[in-house]
Amino acid sequence: MKYFPENPGISLPKENGNTMKTLYTAEALASGEGRDGNARTNDGKLDVALASPKELGGNGEGTNPEQLFAAGYAACFHSALRLVGRKERVDLTDSAVAARIHIGALTDSEGFGLAAELEIALPALDRETAEQLMHKAHQVCPYSNATRGNMAVDLKLVEFAA
């Protein structure tokens, strides 16, 4: 069953007035009881049982949206680092990105919010070069652009050449 109409190459307006020409569209369907259900992509490459974490009262026996977001953000930011690094012609040997996604109740309104911590390892680079690359990647990364102004994102350089 198809849930989304085909619309290749659509240009979507962004809140800041820029437009975006779509290069790729990912499709996923969540069903069941939301956090305690199932999520799958239309191509079948991802099909996961979802379960609320024990910290939120669930059984913790499946993955959860925050884990999926963390994996996606880490991979996307790492890709942005590598893109910027290639342009700068720097050594990205053993580079890596770890992401933590926090969920919590909003204190000034109803609902929930997210916050992110990204830990970036660029062991082949000196601290100054690594920090410059990290900040350039933050400007390029689609996840960073999507979350900017919407949630706290803390960037931390955890490994660099001495």
**Nearest partner of 103 among 48, 159, 141, 58, judged by Cα:** 58
pLDDT recorded at residue 13: 57
Instruction: Report CA 144 to chain centroid distance, whole Å.
Output: 8
Residues of the chain with pLDDT under 70: 1-17, 162
Question: E strands of the chain, at which residues?
Answer: 11-13, 19-21, 28-33, 36-41, 47-49, 96-105, 112-126, 152-161
pLDDT recorded at residue 17: 64
pTM of the model: 0.88
pLDDT recorded at residue 61: 95
Residue 32, SS3 per DSSP: strand
CATH number for the domain running over 65-161: 3.30.300.20
pLDDT recorded at residue 20: 81
pLDDT recorded at residue 159: 84
Residue 140 zone, left/alpha/beta (φ > 0; ψ -120 to 50; rest) = alpha
pLDDT recorded at residue 65: 96
pLDDT recorded at residue 5: 55
Annotated domain spans of the chain: 11-56, 65-161
Exposure string for 12-41, b = 16+ CB within 10 A, e = fewer: eeeeeeeeeeeeeeeeeeeeeeebeeebee
Task: Name the architecture of domain 11-56.
Answer: Single Sheet (2.20)
